[in-house]
Amino acid sequence: METPTLEPLELFAGKIGDGEQLFFKFKDNAGREVALRYDQTVPTCRVVAEYAQILPMPFRRYQIQPAFRAEKPQKGRYREFVQCDADIFGESSYLADAEVIGLSLEIYRKLGFKNACVSVNDRELLVGIPYEAIVSIDKLDKIGEMGVIREMIEKGIERDQAIKFFKQVRDLKPNEKINNIFAYLKETGFDSSWYKFEPTLSRSFSYSTGPIWEVKIEGFGNGSVLGGERYDDLVSKIAGVEIPGTGFGLGFDRTLEACLQFGLVPEFSTVSKVLVCLMSGEYFINGLQIMKALREVDIVTEIYPSKEVKIDKQLKYANKKGIPYVVIIGGDEVQAKKISLKNMKTGEQETLFIQDAIKKLKAK
């Protein structure tokens, strides 16, 4: 699924919570207040509500698009970033939460991480804690216990009450729903090192209503790489249609940074395997035909894009780019209906029919 980059500001306003200060918002040419896509959950809820009568429920969707936030740019935080979402709509069972939490972990397992862990809490355990306190408690990893209490006091919460709220949250125990989710994760192949109950995890989104979770990678210092929650009231709040939802957003940029840090990015070669070189520009059409024949059998090939450049410069270009083979076409090759194939590493050069050259290149 994809949603527009620009949405009416009213779609996001009042749905996000503390993060609304990070909206990129302005008036369009018609004077309407609009905002760049802050997240993908809210716009998707609008689409799901619009097509609720024709979508099969439960409805699973994924979405990969840029999101925009007026952050102070720093490592791990960008004003434009790629977010990858996966959600299930139309099912209120904890099994839907367990499925997307399991998917959250499976992504990082497939990427090769051995040290990823999902922290899980349930917003239902936080009933009675004011939203302002929840937002502060969610910053515990960043500002510490005293910082959390200080921030609550700055928001107008009495000191004794702030301490009470913090201790109340810190002492929470997992409920049956969380234990059932952990049992699901165990049955799907994740040992206990992959998941844990974290009572101080709060998630600052005001639309969270049930299980909430974040994935962090041990040794990666840029915070969580994925966050998710259940949001049973959000579709109703946007469009008046009762459709429960649960899902997560994965930060592609942070995940890539973590992959780079732990050496999990495979080396992809974008270098062509063959460069077609011409002894003279008059053989350019012959070169195009050879390039086409090689590409048709999935041999990555390019032709030097000039008719005037001398052969020695073309060969130097192949060496500079690290292209392992060159095909040389001149008058003798055209007359014999053959090509000269040169191994740029060994210097070995042979004159071959194109089919024999293909076999040789395929064998390498």
Q: Binding site for L-histidine, residues?
A: 39-41, 69, 83, 87, 203
Buried b (16+ CB within 10 A) or exposed e, 336-354: eebbbbbebeeeeeeebeb
| Type of residue at 347 | G
| Type of residue at 234 | L
Nearest to 165 by CA among 140, 190, 143: 140
C-alpha distances (whole Å) from 182 to each of 117, 197, 249, 260 are: 12, 9, 20, 30
Which two tokens mark 351? 């004159």
Look-up of token digits 């928001």: 155
- Nearest-angstrom CA–CA distance, 193 and 174: 16
Which two tokens mark 173? 């125990």
- Nearest-angstrom CA–CA distance, 302 and 154: 64
Q: State the binding site.
A: 39-41, 69, 83, 87, 203
**DSSP structural state of residue 333:** H
